[in-house]
A and B are shown apart, each in its own frame.
Chain A
Amino acid sequence: MKILVVEDHAPLRGSLAKGLREAGFAVDLAADGEEGLWHALEEDYDAIVLDLMLPKLDGLSVLERLRAKGKQSHVLILTAKDAVRDRVRGLEAGADDYLVKPFAFEELLARIRALVRRRYAAKSPAVRVGDLEIDRAAQRVRRGGRDIELTAKEYALLELLALRAGEIVRRVEIWSHLYEFAEEPSSNLLEVYVAQLRRKLEAGGEPRMIHTRRGVGYSLEAMS
């Protein structure tokens, strides 16, 4: 899952990036409104964390321009402005959620995950595909009652495929959701992750779930 954080306070921006990356998200960062808007228009983020008082272009203007361009990315406003009128303005401008600084990082994480679930129309944090169970709140994966330990990137890859189970997910989409703006795409690296994931999912002799669609991408399916 890929998140954009638009925050002008460098220490907060850094901490958010670190915490979100460790939680399995790919994170792009922007330090002002103009840069944030550019990223948001260029990429298809699963969620955008947006400060309101930003240099160059304020957060509300970023949000309004984003919506005017038809971008439907879920936006969580993260701001020090706590007055009711500010919340109302933010939500009316097209925000999906609003969190006032200072906040508990766990709460921010929970809200971002809720926004991502909304994107994939999943009401429950648990995803089940055949005998594969993914608890997205705890980031735990089980297959046939067996716990599977995954790295952050492996988990992110599996979660994306599971949320779109039965569909072919294109390689470029996987890249854009798993990797950050500055990282160079490498097909080889993706295949390495897929191989590792397959090995862990099939360690108990279970049938293959991740299928390669040559020249297109991958799909997650429970074969009967």
Chain B
Amino acid sequence: MLPLAGLSLYALVEDGLVSEVDRALLTKVRLLSGAVDQADRELHLEFADPVTRDFLAGERGEHLQLYTAIGDVLYRSPSLGDHSLPLGAVSAEPAHAWVDVPEAGRCRTVTLAFEANVGEESPPGTVPAKLVLVLAHDARDVVQTLSTLRSRLVIVGLATLVVTAATLVWVVRRSARPLVAASERIAMIDESDLSIRLDASRVPSELMPIVKRVNGLLARLEAAFERERSFSDDVAHELRTPLAALRTTLEVENTRSRSPEEYARAIEAAAAIAVELQGMVERLLQLARLDAGCTAIESVRYDLADFAVETWEPYATRAHVRHLRVDLDLQHELQVSFDRELLGLILRNLHDNAVTYADPGGHVRIAVRSDDDGAIHLEVSNSGSRLDEAQASAATQRFWRGDSARTDAGLHCGLGLAVVEKATAALGGTLKLSSRVAGEFVAQVVLNGAARNPRVKPG
């Protein structure tokens, strides 16, 4: 913009100055053309007399040359010496041009074609001579003025450019300061401290949405890291504690010689802890697999009631030892094609839960049915629950341990229902838990038809 403005200004001034010179030249050339008289075939040039010549030439810096229409020189002002003013293309209209005149320098010229004034004393029918007058004006002062203007415009332009650039840099740096501060704060963030937030009050309003989004992202990251850390702590706790129990049991038993019965009891206790550890590791692996994104694979069709009985069998002995009554309420001929592994995971965890937490001498109920919409309902419940409704709904949290029932059962592993929830979700179903203290704990899984599984493996 700045060069354009300078060029425009320069053109305006140049045009003004040159136009003024041209106007003066034109006035003068018309005046001079009127000073050529013709008497018959003779031309009388008034400007050739000494007074006019002095007026025109030398110190005033003006020069003239008169041509005939065919280019013969009729007169040349003495100021030109041996030089000539060039005769350009002649037209009816006066034409201006720039000419370099030796010793006089750069001149502005005007070329005017005209006819000589035929005097009254000339015989009738005298044809006026066609002439061309070239008048030059020494324009060194105009050229000098324009040159000075050019230089100043360049200097002012450059200075303005430098100042503008400096101002621009300053303004950019100043407005980028909050961004720099924000970037420095972002650089301070690592996984050990995600509590840092960007200061929204110190950034321009244009950047506010970005700062808010970044702070929101940081908050989500912090929560995710906290969950992860908490989960790692829980895993460590859940694995270290039975390991400690196993080691302590073996070390204490080994401090002295004992009877075979005592050793048998110790081996039994150690085996029970090993089973607990195994169950925990298996559930952790199941959860890890489910977390990694499990894809349900449709199986060949099978009978759901038969499958429920098949998955129950490993728990029947424990139920018998605990004197539990087992009620099977199974709708037969219910063919499904849900992923067998995932459905097995759900049922086995629910069976284990029910057998473990049912009150001694209580009962376990396993029910399977379909409703009018074709949805499959799996229900595993047990008596003697110690959980209220709120506690039951929290029981799918990993390592949830708000219930004394688990403690009393000597178990820590709050993972079974978390696995059930994940596996149910992988099958596109829902898990609902309900309970009342001293009443029933009910786990209900609803699956919306086997055909809805996302991937079909050819049977």
* Complex-state Cα separation, A78 to B248, whole angstroms: 13
User: Which residues of chain A come closer than 8 Å to B237, judged between CB atoms?
Assistant: 53, 79-81
Chain A nearest CB, measured from B250 CB (Å)? 9
B49 at interface (Cβ–Cβ under 8 A)?
no
CB pair A101 B240 closer than 8 Å: yes
B residues 198-255 near A (Cβ < 8 Å) are 233, 236-249, 251-252, 255
Of the stretches B291-299, B313-321, B399-407, B422-430, the one at the interface is: B399-407
* Complex-state Cα separation, A12 to B251, whole angstroms: 12
Q: How many residues of A contact B (CB 8 A)?
A: 30
A96 at interface (Cβ–Cβ under 8 A)?
no
B17 at interface (Cβ–Cβ under 8 A)?
no
Chain A nearest CB, measured from B32 CB (Å)? 106
Chain A nearest CB, measured from B162 CB (Å)? 57
* Complex-state Cα separation, A18 to B408, whole angstroms: 18
User: Which residues of chain B come closer than 8 Å to A105, judged between CB atoms?
Assistant: 247-248, 251-252, 255
CB pair B407 A10 closer than 8 Å: yes
B29 at interface (Cβ–Cβ under 8 A)?
no
Closest to A103 in B: B244
User: Which residues of chain A come closer than 8 Å to B246, judged between CB atoms?
Assistant: 102
CB pair B410 A11 closer than 8 Å: yes
* Complex-state Cα separation, A56 to B243, whole angstroms: 23
* Complex-state Cα separation, A32 to B269, whole angstroms: 21
* Complex-state Cα separation, A78 to B402, whole angstroms: 20
CB pair B408 A11 closer than 8 Å: no
User: Which residues of chain B come closer than 8 Å to A14, judged between CB atoms?
Assistant: 269
CB pair B269 A11 closer than 8 Å: yes
A residues 82-124 near B (Cβ < 8 Å) are 82-83, 100-106, 108
Closest to B235 in A: A80
Closest to A23 in B: B255
B457 at interface (Cβ–Cβ under 8 A)?
no
CB pair A53 B401 closer than 8 Å: yes
B273 at interface (Cβ–Cβ under 8 A)?
yes
CB pair A11 B407 closer than 8 Å: no
* Complex-state Cα separation, A106 to B256, whole angstroms: 13
User: Which residues of chain B come closer than 8 Å to A81, judged between CB atoms?
Assistant: 233, 236-237
A133 at interface (Cβ–Cβ under 8 A)?
no
A65 at interface (Cβ–Cβ under 8 A)?
no
Give the most central of B237, B239, B244: most A CB within 10 Å: B244
CB pair B240 A15 closer than 8 Å: no
B412 at interface (Cβ–Cβ under 8 A)?
yes
User: Which residues of chain B come closer than 8 Å to A12, judged between CB atoms?
Assistant: 241-242, 244-245, 248
* Complex-state Cα separation, A8 to B409, whole angstroms: 10
Task: Check A11/B256 contact, CB under 8 A, given A81-B236, A100-B240, A102-B240.
Answer: no
Task: Check A101/B252 contact, CB under 8 A, given A10-B410, A11-B273.
Answer: no
A209 at interface (Cβ–Cβ under 8 A)?
no
Closest to A100 in B: B240
Chain A nearest CB, measured from B304 CB (Å)? 36
User: Which residues of chain B come closer than 8 Å to A11, judged between CB atoms?
Assistant: 242, 245, 249, 269, 272-273, 276, 410
A162 at interface (Cβ–Cβ under 8 A)?
no
B residues 299-349 near A (Cβ < 8 Å) are none
CB pair A9 B252 closer than 8 Å: no
CB pair A32 B407 closer than 8 Å: yes
Chain B nearest CB, measured from A84 CB (Å)? 12
* B251 in complex: contacting residue of A8, A19, A56, CB < 8 Å: A19
CB pair B244 A8 closer than 8 Å: no
Task: Check A102/B243 contact, CB under 8 A, given A10-B410, A19-B252, A22-B252.
Answer: yes
CB pair B401 A80 closer than 8 Å: no
Task: Check A101/B404 contact, CB under 8 A, given A8-B412, A10-B410, A22-B255.
Answer: no
CB pair A80 B240 closer than 8 Å: yes
* Complex-state Cα separation, A82 to B243, whole angstroms: 14
User: Which residues of chain A come closer than 8 Å to B407, judged between CB atoms?
Assistant: 8, 10, 31-32, 55
* Complex-state Cα separation, A175 to B310, whole angstroms: 56
CB pair B251 A106 closer than 8 Å: yes
User: Which residues of chain A come closer than 8 Å to B406, judged between CB atoms?
Assistant: 55
A60 at interface (Cβ–Cβ under 8 A)?
no
* Complex-state Cα separation, A41 to B194, whole angstroms: 40
* Complex-state Cα separation, A104 to B269, whole angstroms: 18
Chain B nearest CB, measured from A130 CB (Å)? 31
A165 at interface (Cβ–Cβ under 8 A)?
no
Encode B93-119 as 1/0 by CB contact (under 8 A) with A: 000000000000000000000000000
A16 at interface (Cβ–Cβ under 8 A)?
yes
* Complex-state Cα separation, A81 to B408, whole angstroms: 22
User: Which residues of chain A come closer than 8 Å to B269, judged between CB atoms?
Assistant: 11, 14-15
Closest to B262 in A: A18
CB pair B404 A55 closer than 8 Å: yes
CB pair B402 A22 closer than 8 Å: no
Chain A nearest CB, measured from B266 CB (Å)? 9
User: Which residues of chain A come closer than 8 Å to B249, judged between CB atoms?
Assistant: 11, 15
CB pair B255 A102 closer than 8 Å: no
Chain A nearest CB, measured from B392 CB (Å)? 16
* Complex-state Cα separation, A15 to B252, whole angstroms: 7
Task: Check A16/B236 contact, CB under 8 A, given A11-B273, A102-B243.
Answer: no
Closest to A19 in B: B252
A-B contact pairs, 17 of them (CB 8 A): A9-B242, A11-B245, A11-B272, A12-B241, A15-B245, A15-B249, A19-B252, A22-B256, A31-B408, A79-B237, A80-B239, A81-B233, A81-B236, A81-B237, A102-B240, A104-B247, A106-B251
**15 further A-B pairs in the complex, CB-CB below 8 A; given A11-B273, A12-B244, A55-B403:** A9-B412, A10-B408, A11-B272, A12-B242, A18-B252, A22-B255, A31-B407, A32-B404, A55-B401, A78-B244, A80-B237, A80-B241, A81-B236, A105-B247, A106-B251
Please report B residues at the A interface, Cβ cutoff 8 Å. Answer: 233, 236-249, 251-252, 255-256, 269, 272-273, 276, 401-404, 406-410, 412
List the 5 closest A-B pairs by CB distance, nearest first.
Answer: A10-B410, A12-B245, A80-B240, A19-B252, A101-B244
